[in-house]
């Protein structure tokens, strides 16, 4: 007896029945084709994500080639602590919300303007994919007119990250995007070294580790990390949050009346449909987990999608229930919550608050700006992805509205 084949077409189409099989019968098994040990129960996934001897060395092959250098996600110990402070300060600093919230609101309103008069849109392509690229580009302080180019690199670099099928075209496109981005960033880095501004690129350009400025390759790698770390995550979260709301009128009405519920809907949508289904770790030593033995040198795949439906952790795990007690917005955007798609422990996502603000803004503005918003009649909603997962399209219709009246912060 072997556990489910995570590379089969049936698994890619609908992994959820296989997650039940993993949780009940194969909580830890070796998947022969990938050579990964798959772990699925919530308690064990949580442990593997954050405790030694499991490390993040896997990102050396998963991310480093396309980032062009070592990145924060693959570091450990004091090196990781240095870089976490360096990136964390501008991403979570005291005055951070003051500028990022209005900026995200403005960008969101601008994207909605593009399709508002039409009466229909593909919420995935026209909105959810565009927002996260623009947010990263704004955080870095890249010129607004370069955003379309940046969006193209964003897509290619993320596809490279999830390219388990080793499609040579995807690899080539990812590496080409990195090469183009390297050339593009070179003069901007020189500029920010000479004339620092209030953006993340300037923070990288003028940061010192042990008294030495980061060299250009390190800065380039940090910029790529922001793309890869944000990945398709925010796009999928926006798409799934909107899908769950639009297909469930009772929850939509609740959220329209009380916007403070949006965080709960976001978290429950991401529990049931996590944007990240699998996170990898390297076992630096032999380990005995409750479900079995993991030999030193193995790659362990933490099955986040399965852990989010573990009945030992979540009552009625297949039911969409934003009010469930196991979810708590005060904890689930921090490393202490029960939701695992932002990771866990010392590598917990540094952008979880940005994702929270982005999804909150998206839901608020889409509901306000598009009267009669609903999923297009007859639309079939298809999902794709094994490592990360998203709807391929989310066709919507609404009453066309004239441009120019989307509420943003004063
Ligand atoms: C819903 C959206 C997002 C998801 C699902 C997500 C997911 C994750 C996950 C799972 C990790 C940990 C990886 C691991 O431990 O192997 C991570 C780390 C990270 N994320 Fe996010 N992320 C999101 C948005 C963002 C955004 C918007 C940013 C910044 C603009 C960001 C920046 C980072 C950084 C810098 C790290 C590395 C932290 C470290 O290694 O210490 N993320 N993210």
Burial per residue of 172-211, b for 16 or more beta-carbon CB atoms within 10 angstroms, e otherwise: ebbbebbeebbeebeebbeebeeeeeebbbbbbbebeeee
Cβ–ligand 1 contact at 279 (below 6 Å): yes
Average pLDDT over residues 371-388: 93
pLDDT of residue 94: 66
Mean pLDDT of the chain: 90
φ, ψ dihedrals at 381, nearest 5°? -95, 110
Instruction: Say yes or no: CB of residue 136 within 6 Å of ligand 1.
Output: yes
Q: Is 236 in the pocket of ligand 1 (CB under 6 A)?
A: no
CA 320, chain centre distance (Å): 21
In this prediction, residue 63 carries a pLDDT of 67
Mean pLDDT of 188-194: 93
Separation CA 259–CA 239 (nearest Å): 18
The pLDDT tens digits of the residues spanning 104-157 come to 999 999 999 999 999 999 999 999 999 998 898 888 999 989 988 988 888 888
Mean pLDDT computed over 367-390: 93
The pLDDT tens digits for 396-406 are 999 998 776 66
Please state, in angstroms and rounded to a whole number, the distance separating the CA atoms of residues 354 and 203: 18
Atom of ligand 1 nearest to the CA of 304: 10
Tell me, using a 6 A CB cutoff, whether residue 121 lines ligand 1.
Answer: no
Q: Please report the domains of the chain, with CATH numbers, ordered by start residue.
A: 9-397 (1.10.630.10)
- Separation of 87 CA from ligand 1 center, angstroms? 12
The answer, yes or no, to whether any atom of ligand 1 lies below 6 A from the CB of 66, is no
Residue 343, ligand 1, Cβ within 6 A: yes
Nearest-5° angle of CA 257, CA 308, CA 333? 55
Give yes or no for residue 272 having a pLDDT over 80: yes
Would you say 27 and 40 are in contact if contact means Cβ atoms under 8 Å apart?
yes
Give me the percent of the chain exceeding a pLDDT of 90. Answer: 66
Centroid of ligand 1 to alpha carbon of 372 (angstroms): 34
Q: Is 376 helix (H, G, I), strand (E, B) or coil?
A: coil
Query: Is the shortest distance between the CB of 252 and ligand 1 below 6 Å?
Result: no
User: Mind listing the pLDDT tens digit for each residue in 282-309?
Assistant: 999 999 999 999 999 999 999 999 999 9
From the CA of 342, how far away is ligand 1's center (Å)?
6
Q: pTM of the prediction?
A: 0.93
- Closest atom of ligand 1 to 49 CA is 15
Q: Whose CA is nearest to atom 12 of ligand 1?
A: 343
Q: Which residue among 203, 349, 359 has the greatest number of ligand 1 atoms within 8 angstroms of its CB, and so is best to mutate?
A: 349
Residue 341: predicted pLDDT: 95
Kindly provide the residue ranges of all beta strands, DSSP E only, lying in 6-101, ordered along the sequence: 28-31, 36-39, 54-55
Distance 223 CA to ligand 1 centre (A): 13
**107, 351, 354, 363: which to mutate for ligand 1, most atoms within 8 A of CB?**
351
Residue 317 has pLDDT above 90, yes or no: yes
Sheet containing 36-39: which strands, arranged edge to edge? 28-31, 36-39, 299-303, 278-283, 54-55
Out of 87, 93, 128, 229, give the residue to mutate to test ligand 1, the one with the largest number of ligand atoms within 8 Å of its CB.
Answer: 229
């Amino acid at each position: 007896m072997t556990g489910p084949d995570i590379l089969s077409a049936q698994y890619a189409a609908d992994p959820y029945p296989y997650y039940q099989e993993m949780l009940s019968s194969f909580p830890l098994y070796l998947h022969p084709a990938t050579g990964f040990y798959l772990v699925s129960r919530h308690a064990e996934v949580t442990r593997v994500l954050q405790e030694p001897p499991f490390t993040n060395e896997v990102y050396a092959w998963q991310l480093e080639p396309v980032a062009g250098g070592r990145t924060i996600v693959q570091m450990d110990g004091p090196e990781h602590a240095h870089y976490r402070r360096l990136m964390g300060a501008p991403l979570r600093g005291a005055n951070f919300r003051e500028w990022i919230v209005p900026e995200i609101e403005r960008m969101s309103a601008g994207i909605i303007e593009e399709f508002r008069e039409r009466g229909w849109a593909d919420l995935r392509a026209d909105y959810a994919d565009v927002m996260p690229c623009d947010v990263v580009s704004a955080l870095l302080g890249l010129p607004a007119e370069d955003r379309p180019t940046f969006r193209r690199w964003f897509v290619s670099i993320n596809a490279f990250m999830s390219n388990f099928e080793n499609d040579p075209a995807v690899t080539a496109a990812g590496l080409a995007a990195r090469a183009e981005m390297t050339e593009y960033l070179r003069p901007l880095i020189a500029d920010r070294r000479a004339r620092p501004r209030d953006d993340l690129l300037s923070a990288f350009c003028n940061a010192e580790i042990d008294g030495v400025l980061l060299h250009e390759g390190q800065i380039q790698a940090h910029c790529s990390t922001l793309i890869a770390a944000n990945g398709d995550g925010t796009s999928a979260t926006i798409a799934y949050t909107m899908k769950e709301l639009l297909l469930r009128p009772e929850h939509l009405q609740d959220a329209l009346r009380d916007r403070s519920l949006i965080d709960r809907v976001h978290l429950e949508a991401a529990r049931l449909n996590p944007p990240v289904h699998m996170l990898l770790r390297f076992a630096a030593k032999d380990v005995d987990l409750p479900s079995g033995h993991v030999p030193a040198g193995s790659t362990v795949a933490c099955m986040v999608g399965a852990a989010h439906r573990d009945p030992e952790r979540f009552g009625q795990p297949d039911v969409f229930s934003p009010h469930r007690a196991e979810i708590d917005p005060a904890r689930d955007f921090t490393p202490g919550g029960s939701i695992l798609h932002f990771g866990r422990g010392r590598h917990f996502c540094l952008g979880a608050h940005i994702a929270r603000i982005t999804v909150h803004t998206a839901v608020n503005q889409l509901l306000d700006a598009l009267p009669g918003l609903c999923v297009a009649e007859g639309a079939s909603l298809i999902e794709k992805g094994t490592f990360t997962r998203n709807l391929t399209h989310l066709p919507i219709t609404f009453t066309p509205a004239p441009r120019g009246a989307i509420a943003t912060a004063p």
